[in-house]
Amino acid sequence: MSIQSQKKRDAGAFDCARALIKSLHQRALAGQCELFYFDESGFSPNPPIQYGWSRIGQARSVEPQAHRQRVNVLGALRQDGKLVWCTQQQPTVRNDVIAFLDRMSEAPHSCPRIVVIDNAAIHKGKAMDSKRQEWAAQGLYLYYLPPYSPELNRIEILWKQAKYFWRRFCSLKGEELLNEVNSIFNAFGTGFTINFA
């Protein structure tokens, strides 16, 4: 997260959110609730370039690549590392988020499910507000993070790992890209893991 973004956030709200999430995590470990971290991310045909080099005196440059055929992933990472996810090849909109959370609320569970979610525009609005009442009746609750607090959402680490370290460093198109992304998330928990210390 950039220094500018850290300056924009409300430090008090951030500290309260961090303390609340820590408390929810402890309750989840005790079996009193399930804690999920939700977000969405996109994978383009060309993997991101982390490093580069150029000759002395020449500026580093990269040829622009078209980002058509993007694969988007919606995911919810549970406190114990279980991942619920789906892929799609069209832009993610509010109705996709609602459908995903509907499936989470309808899936069998014996204790409340709490979903940590950021303040993206597609995560809010009248449609989300009306669905929140329905989800609460089914035992699923949303907890919105304060603005500029991505480090409180554990799934952000998963997206970074998947994009920068687990994905093959090659250009993929269409079905190849979809298969690559699906193979990464199918292998999560066995072939790919994250240890949250």
Q: What is the pLDDT of residues 31-77, one digit of tens each?
A: 999 999 999 999 988 876 655 566 777 765 555 555 567 899 999 99
55 neighbors 169 (Cβ within 8 angstroms): no
pLDDT at 136: 97
Strand 83-88 vs strand 71-78: parallel, antiparallel, or unpaired? antiparallel
- What pLDDT digit, counting tens, does each position of 96-145 carry? 999 999 999 999 999 999 999 999 999 999 999 999 999 999 999 999 99
What torsion, rounded to 10 degrees, do the Cα atoms 78, 149, 196, 183 define?
60
CATH class of 8-49+65-186: alpha beta
The predicted model gives 17-21 an average pLDDT of 98
Residue 179 has pLDDT above 70, yes or no: yes
3-state secondary structure (DSSP) of residue 69: coil
The token pair that represents 86 in the structure block: 């789906």
The token pair that represents 126 in the structure block: 């009248």
194 neighbors 81 (Cβ within 8 angstroms): yes
Tell me the C-alpha distance between 192 and 180, whole Å.
Answer: 13
What is the value of pTM for the model shown? 0.86
